[in-house]
Amino acid sequence: MPATSTGDRVRGVVGFVGELLITAGVVVGLFAVYTLFWTGVETANEQEALEEQFSSVEASPEATDEPAADDPEPEPLSGDAYARLTIPRLGDDWRWIVVQGVELETLTRGPGHYPETVDPGEVGNFAVAGHRATYGEPFANLDRVQVGDEVRVERAGVLHTYVVTESFITDPSDTDVLLPVPGQPGVEADEAVLTLTTCHPRWSSSERLIVHATLAESAPVEEVA
């Protein structure tokens, strides 16, 4: 190699910086693909496995048996398939397996049941959180759900139909929406309600979108799909 001139050195540095910039551009582009597309693929795969897990648990005889008084139903493990959620307003193929738990990691698999809240159909508040953007974005269009819409939850062989009573935007710290009687601390529950939470606006963490519904009917599941 001939002795490098100042010009060569400058060209070398400029070329290296250029390579870095191009690399950064490609990485940012890949990150966009990951966020907008790949997280959805991963969640769809998780949901497929969860659907199988849920179906096999539901099909096993003990799932529908009344738990004996001295043998309470075992607590589901975090991340396990917990219930099947359908909201007709969001489309005929809108069907999600709810998992147990609301940790960040858990919610990448699907909507999650707040473990401190009651099971579906029970008196009190059954609450579920879900992503509104990325990871399959189950609650992307939760803002389209209107008062009077049905929210159906299937668990342990029973289909619980809730009817939406209100939908509003609140503060991220507003944990009162998870109370047995939402928004009324210290009041004892006498009816079964459902709460859905997600972020608002979409792609933001500044507020939360809340949907409340009241139990209208609980009936045994006729056919297991």
Partner 1 sequence: MYPWIWQHLPGPTAVKVVLAAVLVGLVVLVLFTVVFPWAVTWLPGQEVVVDGAG
Of the pair 90, 156, the CB lying nearest partner 1 is at 90
Which 3 state secondary structure label does DSSP give 221?
A: coil
Of the pair 86, 134, the CB lying nearest partner 1 is at 134
Q: How far apart are CA 47 and CA 126, in angstroms?
A: 21
Smallest distance, partner 1 to C-beta of residue 202, A = 6
Smallest distance, partner 1 to C-beta of residue 11, A = 12
Of the pair 58, 137, the CB lying nearest partner 1 is at 137
Angstrom distances, CA of residue 73 to CA of 61, 62, 63, 79, 215: 13, 10, 9, 17, 22
Could you give the angle at the alpha carbon of 38 between the alpha carbons of 34 and 42, nearest 5°?
135
Smallest distance, partner 1 to C-beta of residue 97, A = 17
What does the block give as tokens for 191? 């009816």
Smallest distance, partner 1 to C-beta of residue 102, A = 5
Of the pair 100, 159, the CB lying nearest partner 1 is at 100
Q: How far apart are CA 211 and CA 169, in angstroms?
A: 9
Angstrom distances, CA of residue 203 to CA of 8, 135, 208: 46, 12, 11
What does the block give as tokens for 31? 């990150």
Smallest distance, partner 1 to C-beta of residue 58, A = 26
Of the pair 23, 60, the CB lying nearest partner 1 is at 23
Nearest to 87 by CA among 155, 146, 152, 144: 152
Which chain residues interact with partner 1 by CB under 8 A?
16, 19-20, 27, 30-31, 34-35, 38-39, 102, 104, 107, 114, 129-134, 139, 170-175, 177-178, 197-199, 202-206, 208, 210
Smallest distance, partner 1 to C-beta of residue 196, A = 10
Question: Amino acid letter at 38?
Answer: W
Question: Amino acid letter at 9?
Answer: R
Of the pair 19, 48, the CB lying nearest partner 1 is at 19
Q: How far apart are CA 169 and CA 184, in angstroms?
A: 17
